[in-house]
Structure 1
Amino acid sequence: MTDDADDADDANDAHDSTGGDGVTDPDDAHPPLSLSAFHDACQRAGRPLLTASELARHLERPHSEVTDDLEALAERGDLEHLAVSRDPVVWFPAELEDLTERERVVVFPKRREIIVDRPDQFTRAQLSQFAHLADGNGESGYRYVVRPEDVWQAPHDSFDGLQRTMRQALGQRSDALESWVESQWDRARQFRLVTHPDDYTVLEAQSAEIMGNVARQKLDEEHVHAPISDTEDWVREGSEAAIKRILYEAGYPVRDDRNLESGDALEVGLEVSLREYQRTWVDRFLEAGSGVFVGPPGSGKTIAAIATMEEVGGETLVLVPSRDLARQWAETVLDVTSLEPEQVGQYHGGRKEIRPITIATYQIAGMDRHRSLFDDREWGLVVFDECQHVPSDVYRRSTHLQSRHRLGLSASPLREDDRAADIFTLIGPPIGTDWEALFEAGFVAEPELEIRYVPWGDDEHQNAYGSAEGRERYQLAATNPGKVAEVRYLLASHPGARALVFVDYLEQGRDLAAALDAPFLSGETPHLERQRLLDSFRHDEIDTLVLSRVGDEGIDLPSADLAIVASGLGGSRRQGTQRAGRTMRPAGGALMYVLATRGTREEEFARRQLQHLGRQGLTVREESVERDLETETESDTSSEAADE
């Protein structure tokens, strides 16, 4: 539309606002335009300057009135204006930086994306109820994506409540986005599993149409026995998880309202205080009855899980990936609750105790010869720690333990096999807080991540890499001898730091441990020795540990403030999160260095593995090492010989 057309429309608006004789109706008079209202209009437009025509359309006011108000603000020194070729005048704040420091929200309804610049804590808390933080580095604003699963698990009893939250977060109405969100809200209420009075499970649909067009098209005799009515199907015992997964993938999450076991009552007194976000996690879990606490390492998911035990008030089974983590769980439960040692048991290769609070490994809980022991006891709550494992064939056998309440814990529920949806259908919806908010509040330290591109340590390995193929090529880059000198350099640059050095290969780990005069902890390390080393690290008796993949998860190392990834860059994104998480803690400067051999595929692996951490709000830097590592290695060898 041209400016002349705009002016004509504004003239008509001006005519309509009068009584027909050119006299303005007092009831239709507008207050003078304020600088704050101009800022709000700029936020809606997504740019720091506006024409009078744009502002008039936004305010739904006559062009002439808006122009008068703009000139008045300019006379006061609040606005500046500039003539440009395509529009008579553009207006902008006299102090433009005042606008750049304000929170701005821009909505892209078709992409279901929300870009927020300088969001305050309230806005981020509101957004987290219905949107996923996809990119939180803050440089180009925070990018939120509204996904179906975010709407499905929104903590509201009605769509009206969710709609109010959206409008508070966005500061505006977005009819297109709200319409899509409402459709997803309705989808999440089309199916539910219930218990029939005769004690079998029934799949219920909201209508005969949705049952016939969706459920009965997707499910077969493997999942249901027969129809009971136009909106009800008799479910085969044991197929509940498969039904939830199939309908979830079809875009229809199933509410699980079965009368599942609630377990014998157990009084658990929590003797520590929860942080505000942990309390929010627990409250949202109690509303849903199931869910997954998602937060960075160090954010207190274990404490929040124990608080959930207290609220549920029933006997609890905790499933963990390793006996080391089982021991740590047992120690934590006894340390922060009123429970006595005889009420807390461990069930794994080293101990076999079934008690009101039992911590067992996934592997043993899934074995046929042990499973009946867990089946015979009614659990009020089952906790799946490191629940990203659950979709794997070995671990998912433990998910048949379907109690009334199912809680998952994970720093990164990412999977490389596209089975992440299984986590939420087998356990429950994600419940979390955006990482950047925890960093800013000081609950968790934001580690500094740096990828360091290291040259080859010698010509022999570089030449071998050039002629190798496939897995051998990857291993040669991973075990580049130049990394030994670089690890030494980084440790010397951070004297006194508690350091973890991660490797993917046992031989490389042994070589690094020998070069650093540090212990090497791997899957071959006996459990008693592993426990001794971990305790020594926690108690400052040793300050450097070399770790194989055994250290990626299931080991609590809260006091580490330096992590060096010497190899293992072909691993999953989850592995990158776990290793970065070893340096996340409430205080201190946390550092993580990732070493990649320059000019090899390790460069790509390093960027890919840490990319999603950048989207969580962590800063990722890149540095090319220019020192002559081969000379340094020879010098180190000569010094050692001289010492001998």
Structure 2
Amino acid sequence: MTDEEPADSEPESADSDGPAVELDAVYDAIDAVGRPHLTATELSRKTDLTPDEAREALEALSEEGEIERQNVSEVESVWYPTDVAEVTDRERVVLFPDRREVVVEHPDQFTRAQLSQFARLQDSNRSGGYVYELREADVWAAPHESLDDLLATMRDVLGERSPHLEEWVTSQWERARKFRLYTHEEGYVVLEAESDDLMGNVARQKLDDEYLRAPISDSEAWVNRDATAEIKRTLYEAGYPVRDDRELDEGDALEMDLLLRLRDYQADWVERFTEQGSGVFVGPPGSGKTVAAMGTMAAIGGETLILVPSRELATQWHDELVRHTSLTDDDIGEYHGGAKEIRPVTIATYRTAGMDRHRKLFDQRKWGLIVYDEVHHVPSPIHRRSADLQTKHRLGLTATPTRESDDEEEIFTLVGPPIGTDWGKLFDEGYVAEPEVEIRLVPWGADDERTEYASTSGHDRRQAAANNTGKIEEIRYTLAQHPAAKALVFVEYLDQGDAISEAIDAPFISGETPHARREKLFDEFRRSERDTLVVSRVGDEGIDLPDAELAVVASGLGGSRRQGAQRAGRTMRPAGDARMVILATRGTTEEDFVRRQMRHLASKGIRVNETEAEAVEAPAAED
């Protein structure tokens, strides 16, 4: 080696007695510097090695073919793994504690599932980057039994401890335990504050005599038991979630046995619910929330009111209860537009139960448990009145608590805290099959459609993009790719549904379809007598289609983030491979709508890919 040559221009012998470095240490250092290569000096900074020792270790790995070197004129050589392409796609988690943000590049499913337990997905991009934010409400609603459990999950996914962030999380965790409601030994309801100051400066400032009847002590007050929902909501909005430790009504006795064996996680859900008295089972479709709810009914042993969003779901609940429990048809009543029966177990629609002329009938019954299926309906004004049954055990069921107005805190305030939100664990254990979700960008089917889109605005523009006829050919192509799959094609607009129905020779089910025919077609689909249906929003929720292996969304995700998860949920079953294809017209606002609406799925640990349409060639652009 001459004096003019760089000091590291020739590698030392692989038999050198210098310090060894594992390849994983190089990967970790590369992640730390934030690019797919590094110098010996950078490696030394990330390890306990001196620069010379780091250089010798890199040269040894180079001899073994694990890494390669690139000499750079007048600066230190850089080293990079031989699988550099894979390194650029490696998962990287970067924490910004001051902003309470986590940026993750190429997160795997488990990482996203972990993050969803204490943070909210704020943004994602096509290159695999995800931005999560930790908010007060996320800590308050974290599904952990202790602060130590929450902090352990955070450290695991973040890969480091952040004293600043953990101090803030600890303060929020403690803040959510400053107030509680409990039942006094004489039977009345008491609001208890952690300190005299909190009672005086928060509770008594926010709640007047209508809610706080009389002081019991400087930190306790007798409250109006009929106003507990409003008390909890008011204090939540003031930044103080209230623990509900009241002794809840057990209702008239209900003799009922569950004829199925609960899975371990379902049994855990039931046990946690019976300890709390209220809560929301949050899990993907196919995870068995309905079965767990039946287990809860058996554990509570009180007459039960089940609230559902549709008549179809009421009928489904009736059939499942008869099939899987010791209850008979005589024990179960339905109360909605098609039936008016109140029995020990009554299944009613939210709308009917909230009407003044029916509500008294429900209030007169001594219910021990209220089940709110598809609980994301509860916050909407027309359904909120049914949440006033605060003295009962309250169980919510949902895969998607997200609402457009971001008021999901209403669910946990009026019904209860979340139970069972670790979707990744259910995927890993094989209870639920993770669907392949693909956004497919479709060119215009005709020039005049593109021209019409350009000349419109607002809703008309969105509808023009949704009705792109190029999607029909893509639907045909997709169905032909999966000839043996049972398929659902979702649409938002009736004209589009009719056109697709005619093009692929499959029935179209919409809100205009008579109830009896709708049930007949769904039943034929369940029994595999039909393999394809075109459905409007009536298929978004409350319909049990357990064997759907392919979902094609032709339009409709622009209206609600929840629709994305509901429609993906039609394929999220433990039956094996499943696929969801979302069609969006390329170069339109529909692209942005679809990406935004799929963030909820991504935050729950489901990978969403984006591709180009394969069946349609774009028409030539106009001069």
1:232 paired residue number: 220
1:639 paired residue number: none
Give the TM-score normalised by structure 2: 0.81
Deviations 1:180-236 (A, max 9, x none): 222112111111122345544332211121122222333345544454443233433
C-alpha deviation, 1:464, in angstroms: 4.0
**Counterpart pick for 1:595 among 566, 583, 586:** 583
1:448 paired residue number: 437
C-alpha deviation, 1:119, in angstroms: 9.2
Amino acid paired to 2:590: E
1:285 paired residue number: 273
SS at match of 2:315: helix
2:375 paired residue number: 387
CA RMSD of aligned residues (A): 4.2
C-alpha deviation, 1:558, in angstroms: 1.4
**Counterpart pick for 1:527 among 488, 500, 515:** 515
Query: Aligned in 2, Cα 1:85/1:402: closer, same or farther, shift over 3 Å?
Result: farther
Would you say the 8 A contact 1:454–1:486 is kept in 2?
no
**Counterpart pick for 2:139 among 151, 163, 166:** 151
Matches within 5 A, 1:250-269: 250-269=238-257
Q: Structure 2, unaligned stretches of length 5 or more?
A: 1-18
**Counterpart pick for 1:509 among 497, 509, 520:** 497
C-alpha deviation, 1:533, in angstroms: 0.8
Would you say the 8 A contact 2:215–2:222 is kept in 1?
yes
Matches within 5 A, 1:192-271: 192-196=180-184, 199-221=187-209, 223-271=211-259
SS at match of 2:402: coil
1:186 paired residue number: 174
How many Å separate the matches in 2 of 1:446 and 1:282? 27
Amino acid paired to 1:510: D
SS at match of 1:433: coil
SS at match of 2:396: strand
**Counterpart pick for 2:571 among 583, 590, 600:** 583
Matches within 5 A, 1:300-379: 300-379=288-367
Amino acid paired to 1:620: N
Amino acid paired to 2:340: K
C-alpha deviation, 1:120, in angstroms: 10
Would you say the 8 A contact 2:250–2:302 is kept in 1?
yes
Would you say the 8 A contact 2:189–2:225 is kept in 1?
yes
How many Å separate the matches in 1 of 2:359 and 2:54? 76
**Counterpart pick for 2:612 among 623, 634, 638:** 623
SS at match of 2:266: helix
Deviations 1:425-478 (A, max 9, x none): 11112223343443344322323323332314462x444444444333333333
C-alpha deviation, 1:364, in angstroms: 1.3
Query: Aligned in 2, Cα 1:624/1:121: closer, same or farther, shift over 3 Å?
Result: closer
Amino acid paired to 2:308: V
Matches within 5 A, 1:425-504: 425-442=413-430, 443-457=432-446, 459=448, 461-504=449-492
How many Å separate the matches in 2 of 1:483 and 1:573? 21
C-alpha deviation, 1:254, in angstroms: 0.4
Task: Between 449-458 and 113-122, report the one with greater CA deviation.
Answer: 113-122
SS at match of 2:340: coil
1:6 paired residue number: none
How many Å separate the matches in 1 of 2:309 and 2:299? 25
Would you say the 8 A contact 1:502–1:547 is kept in 2?
yes
Query: Aligned in 2, Cα 1:86/1:156: closer, same or farther, shift over 3 Å?
Result: farther
Deviations 1:463-495 (A, max 9, x none): 444444433333333333443343333333332
Amino acid paired to 2:421: T
Would you say the 8 A contact 1:135–1:614 is kept in 2?
no
Query: Aligned in 2, Cα 1:50/1:299: closer, same or farther, shift over 3 Å?
Result: same
How many Å separate the matches in 2 of 1:370 and 1:45? 63
Task: Between 93-102 and 513-522, report the one with greater CA deviation.
Answer: 93-102
How many Å separate the matches in 2 of 1:244 and 1:49? 54
Would you say the 8 A contact 2:143–2:421 is kept in 1?
no
C-alpha deviation, 1:253, in angstroms: 0.5
Query: Aligned in 2, Cα 1:307/1:143: closer, same or farther, shift over 3 Å?
Result: farther
**Counterpart pick for 2:262 among 249, 274, 277:** 274
C-alpha deviation, 1:40, in angstroms: 11
Matches within 5 A, 1:501-580: 501-580=489-568
C-alpha deviation, 1:630, in angstroms: 9.2
C-alpha deviation, 1:329, in angstroms: 1.1
User: Given the alignment of the two structures, is residue 109 of structure 1 paired with residue 97 of structure 2, yes or no?
Assistant: yes
How many Å separate the matches in 1 of 2:289 and 2:573? 13
How many Å separate the matches in 2 of 1:279 and 1:598? 46
SS at match of 2:280: strand
Deviations 1:60-86 (A, max 9, x none): x9x88x998997999899999999999
Would you say the 8 A contact 2:184–2:190 is kept in 1?
yes
Give the TM-score normalised by structure 1: 0.78
C-alpha deviation, 1:541, in angstroms: 1.2
Q: Structure 1, unaligned stretches of length 5 or more?
A: 1-31, 632-644
C-alpha deviation, 1:358, in angstroms: 2.0
SS at match of 2:370: strand
Amino acid paired to 2:577: G
- How many residue pairs get aligned? The number is 596
Would you say the 8 A contact 1:43–1:106 is kept in 2?
no
SS at match of 2:598: helix
How many Å separate the matches in 2 of 1:99 and 1:599? 31
How many Å separate the matches in 2 of 1:72 and 1:475? 61
Deviations 1:517-551 (A, max 9, x none): 32221112222211111101111111221212111
C-alpha deviation, 1:587, in angstroms: 2.5
Would you say the 8 A contact 2:585–2:591 is kept in 1?
yes
Matches within 5 A, 1:35-50: none
How many Å separate the matches in 2 of 1:43 and 1:594? 36
SS at match of 2:439: strand
How many Å separate the matches in 2 of 1:300 and 1:113? 33
Deviations 1:546-599 (A, max 9, x none): 212111111111111222222224311111211222222212332222233344
